[in-house]
Structure 1
Amino acid sequence: MAISAPANGSLSSVDNNGSNHRFALSALTSLFFMWGFITCLNDILIPHLKAVFDLNYMQSMLVQFCFFGAYFIVSLPAGNLVKKLGYQKGIVAGLVVAACGCLLFYPAASSHSYPVFLGALFVLASGITILQVSANPYVTLLGPSETASSRLTLTQAFNSFGTTIAPYFGALLILGQATNEIATSAESVQIPYLGLTAALLILAAIFAYLKLPHIASAETESDEVIEGSAWQYKHLVLGALGIFVYVGAEVSIGSFLVNFFGEADIAGLEELEAAKYLTYYWGGAMVGRFIGAAVMQKIPAGKALAFNATLACLLIFITLVSTGALAMWSILLVGLCNSIMFPTIFSLALNGLGKHTSQGSGILCLAIVGGAIVPVVQGFLADIIGVHMSFILPIVCYGYIAYYGLIGSRPSETIGSDESIEPNLNK
């Protein structure tokens, strides 16, 4: 049976305290920042490892394949883990696993082994997957369902802050420290990732001792039997596909920008300089999320999502038919369009799931595997038709997102049930 959150957002007696909600949201912003920072470093690792190991485009995209492939393998077990441990302990577990992944970069660089690098990325991503399954639904539940998209967009803005500064960090400490010696180039990742290991462990210790609000309506007792499944909700299933294509498109574009800006007919930039322009791509998402958090207090989330997706399609089309500065800045502006997409799709898809929320979150995080599949497909296209024309693939992805915002996100009767879900988020 699906249990909807009360319309007034009062999820439990503990949760009526607004200051508790504000404190919890403030603490959670550090998590969103950290995993955004780590994820965006992949955009620096790809051209770096491509040069170090002499890879083609498709081979270099195995970085994203292994990183985002972890979401496919780990998300559903992570959902079960969070259901048993609760959101707060799930967050701590995710931070510890992510720290172990960062630590593995040291032996990977010492052994000069691309497969070991990929293994370290998988462990790191597994930890971030547990974090996503824990933190994203927790944010949507910390207040009224009508403003869940706005709330998650605000916290995701700090995720974008991490992705905005990561390119400069990576360019200076990874690309800037690398030399023509292959061994030295590989070892340039060791110190940055050791620093991330320490930061993640400190965060784990902090969250182990914090007192965060308990969301009674979304958590289950150990002996409680939950009827039905999150898979029964059509808007959740369609939302999972939306997450798949969104993350795929966003990650794929970011992964190719350094190489794209290095092409003679675009900007002809060296890797170190091209990497710095990634800040505009990810920074656009950050700015857009701060704006979107306020705007979506008044504009229906689904309509805002469709508008941004349509604009993204237009900007990529301009990139495809142009060269030079116009092509370069058009693709960078797609970052601004990306701003509200993930949190909006996520919150729309979880609307009305009640005690199926943790399972639904696991399904949505499972769909983040799009970040593994789409970049590899675009890499295949880039090897055949060139990096420039390969950007036709993200247009298809954003086209589906526009459909989901207008039609697919509308809550309806659950599959195989007579119950209906009140469409709180997409009126």
Structure 2
Amino acid sequence: MENTLITESQTEITHEKSTNTTSKKNSYLYPLILITSLFFFWGFVHNLDPVLIPHLRKAFQLTDLESSLVDFSIFIAYFLMAIPAGKIMKKYGYKSGIIIGLILFASGAFLFIPAADTQMYVFFLGALFVIACGLAFLETAANPYIAILGPEETATRRLNFSQSFNGLAAFIAPIIGGKYILSDTVLSDAQIQAFSAAELQQYIANEAASVKGPYLVLGIIIVLVIVLIAFTKLPDIKENAQENEKSTLLHAWKHKHLRWAVIAQFFYVGAQVCILSFFIRFIVVSAGITEKEAAFYAGLAGLAFMLGRFAGTFLMKFLKAHTLLMIYALLSMLFTLVAIFSSGMLSIYSLILVAFFMSIMFPTIFSLGIADLGKDTKMASSLLVMSIVGGAFLPLGLGYISDITGNIQYGYIVPLLCFFIVFLFAKFGWKPKY
């Protein structure tokens, strides 16, 4: 009888635990969907850059180095805002950080309208800087939030899944941007330089005005998302006693695998920005096609990026995350080499394959970098978001090499070296040390 009562009691406890687990999963489902949508929106605005760079380059007659300031203005904002974002979230929570980020995001999108009216390149850079300040908040909040919305053992797969919608945006954005931003009129540099002052002013006005519509619509959509999140109850993720202990950037920096992750993320983001931001410019030169045609292939690169994320999420069921990262880094190096020294469709397909294989790098480096950090997790998240500043500086190197050699393909030596650093992290630096 006593054994029967114990068995029944154990059964009730097991059933109660199962019910609580199911209830917890259900309570996380809608927030997971909502936060995952943010990955799509910041992916969309980032992947308008490959269209925006050649468009502004042509409109304002910029060099490759000057046009790379688009990326600089975006990714320097990540560096400047990552620590404030982390501190605000530590004090006020993830939801507040997300809403602040979305407000800045929408504000920057609306600033494209006066930027187009002024017809000055620097104002476009300013609008992009404001957008990126918002994205710094969103990425600082959303990445660790996704990681903790479920079991710790599936955090890397869950983050890769959410980041896959960033890849979906990478497919859609260049196609939409190519349709509504890039001009049907293809003029050579010589033709533009032959314009009179009045003709040049009108040309710049027409080119600048084409960005108004896409960014106005994007801003309105983000305002709607702000309203939706503001009136949605997100789970309040409680920190345990260890996480409530005081943490500093210096304390977090003592973790060797985090230091490795910050370095790897710096170079990976630089590589991604180089590959994707200059994709249209690259294949126009290497394959001799028009910018509108190139925008279609940029969309295919985005599709490959998305499929690579889904494939990586699936393969992580069978391979350890660091092993898959190492394989993908090697393949990215291989196809970057092919793209540098080939031409025609082979150069296009090689870059599309690079987009596929680099797809898992950001979320995988991020999740490996914050693994087992306890109270240092939020500060580590800020450091990893700060490392996105690689996207500001490394494209400048690409632009400089392109300008001095007269061949943008040679500039892609920069992302080739970046993928090598990621390989070293996956091979040697990922493992937490105690």
Q: TM-score, normalised by structure 2?
A: 0.88
Alignment root-mean-square deviation, CA: 1.9
Asked if 1 retains the 8 angstrom alpha-carbon contact of 2:256 and 2:433, the reply is yes
Asked if 1 retains the 8 angstrom alpha-carbon contact of 2:336 and 2:350, the reply is yes
Equivalent of residue 210 in structure 1, options 223, 227, 232: 232
Take 1:388 and 1:369, find their aligned partners in 2: how far apart are those partners? 23
Matched position secondary structure for 2:387: helix
Whether 2:112 is the aligned partner of 1:105: answer yes
Take 1:194 and 1:152, find their aligned partners in 2: how far apart are those partners? 30
The aligned residue for residue 134 of structure 1 is 141
Take 2:324 and 2:165, find their aligned partners in 1: how far apart are those partners? 20
Question: CA offset at residue 272 of structure 1?
Answer: 1.3
Whether 2:396 is the aligned partner of 1:389: answer no
Asked if 2 retains the 8 angstrom alpha-carbon contact of 1:14 and 1:213, the reply is no
Measured against aligned partners, the alpha-carbon deviations of 1:121-153 in whole angstroms (never above 9, x if no partner) come to: 000000011000000000111122222111100
Take 2:150 and 2:351, find their aligned partners in 1: how far apart are those partners? 35
Matched position secondary structure for 1:259: helix
Whether 2:75 is the aligned partner of 1:55: answer no
The aligned residue for residue 186 of structure 1 is 208
Asked if 2 retains the 8 angstrom alpha-carbon contact of 1:267 and 1:328, the reply is yes
The aligned residue for residue 38 of structure 1 is 45
The aligned residue for residue 159 of structure 2 is 152
Take 2:170 and 2:364, find their aligned partners in 1: how far apart are those partners? 18
Matches within 5 A, 1:12-411: 17-176=24-183, 181-217=203-239, 225-227=245-247, 229-263=251-285, 266-385=286-405, 386-411=407-432
Q: Which segment drifts farther, 390-399 or 62-71?
A: 390-399
Measured against aligned partners, the alpha-carbon deviations of 1:53-103 in whole angstroms (never above 9, x if no partner) come to: 110000000000001110111111111111111111211110011111111
Cα 1:333–1:218, aligned 2, differ >3 Å: closer, same or farther? farther
Take 1:158 and 1:280, find their aligned partners in 2: how far apart are those partners? 15
Asked if 1 retains the 8 angstrom alpha-carbon contact of 2:73 and 2:129, the reply is yes
Question: CA offset at residue 160 of structure 1?
Answer: 0.8
Question: CA offset at residue 220 of structure 1?
Answer: 9.4
Take 2:118 and 2:185, find their aligned partners in 1: how far apart are those partners? 16
Take 2:22 and 2:51, find their aligned partners in 1: how far apart are those partners? 41
Paired AA for residue 293 in structure 2: E
**Where in structure 2 are there 5+ consecutive unaligned residues?**
1-16, 188-202
Measured against aligned partners, the alpha-carbon deviations of 1:348-402 in whole angstroms (never above 9, x if no partner) come to: 0010122222211111010011111111110001111221111111111001111
Take 1:247 and 1:364, find their aligned partners in 2: how far apart are those partners? 11
Number of aligned residue pairs: 398
Take 1:370 and 1:99, find their aligned partners in 2: how far apart are those partners? 24
Take 2:246 and 2:350, find their aligned partners in 1: how far apart are those partners? 48
Asked if 1 retains the 8 angstrom alpha-carbon contact of 2:270 and 2:391, the reply is yes
Asked if 2 retains the 8 angstrom alpha-carbon contact of 1:308 and 1:338, the reply is yes
Q: Which segment drifts farther, 82-91 or 254-263?
A: 254-263
Question: CA offset at residue 227 of structure 1?
Answer: 4.8
The aligned residue for residue 421 of structure 1 is none
Take 2:230 and 2:365, find their aligned partners in 1: how far apart are those partners? 30
Take 1:203 and 1:166, find their aligned partners in 2: how far apart are those partners? 18
Cα 1:62–1:225, aligned 2, differ >3 Å: closer, same or farther? same
Asked if 1 retains the 8 angstrom alpha-carbon contact of 2:339 and 2:347, the reply is yes
Asked if 1 retains the 8 angstrom alpha-carbon contact of 2:36 and 2:165, the reply is yes
Question: CA offset at residue 170 of structure 1?
Answer: 0.4
Asked if 2 retains the 8 angstrom alpha-carbon contact of 1:245 and 1:397, the reply is yes
Higher helix share: 2
Take 1:375 and 1:116, find their aligned partners in 2: how far apart are those partners? 20
Paired AA for residue 28 in structure 2: H
Paired AA for residue 307 in structure 1: I
The aligned residue for residue 6 of structure 2 is none
Take 2:220 and 2:416, find their aligned partners in 1: how far apart are those partners? 39
Percent identity over the alignment is: 40
Question: CA offset at residue 344 of structure 1?
Answer: 0.3
Cα 1:219–1:247, aligned 2, differ >3 Å: closer, same or farther? farther
Asked if 1 retains the 8 angstrom alpha-carbon contact of 2:336 and 2:351, the reply is yes
Q: TM-score, normalised by structure 1?
A: 0.89
- Runs (4+) of structure 1 moved beyond 3 Å? 13-16, 176-180, 218-221
Cα 1:38–1:178, aligned 2, differ >3 Å: closer, same or farther? farther
Question: CA offset at residue 31 of structure 1?
Answer: 0.3
Asked if 2 retains the 8 angstrom alpha-carbon contact of 1:178 and 1:185, the reply is no
Measured against aligned partners, the alpha-carbon deviations of 1:273-312 in whole angstroms (never above 9, x if no partner) come to: 1111101212111011112212212311000100000000
Asked if 2 retains the 8 angstrom alpha-carbon contact of 1:154 and 1:293, the reply is yes
Cα 1:327–1:412, aligned 2, differ >3 Å: closer, same or farther? same
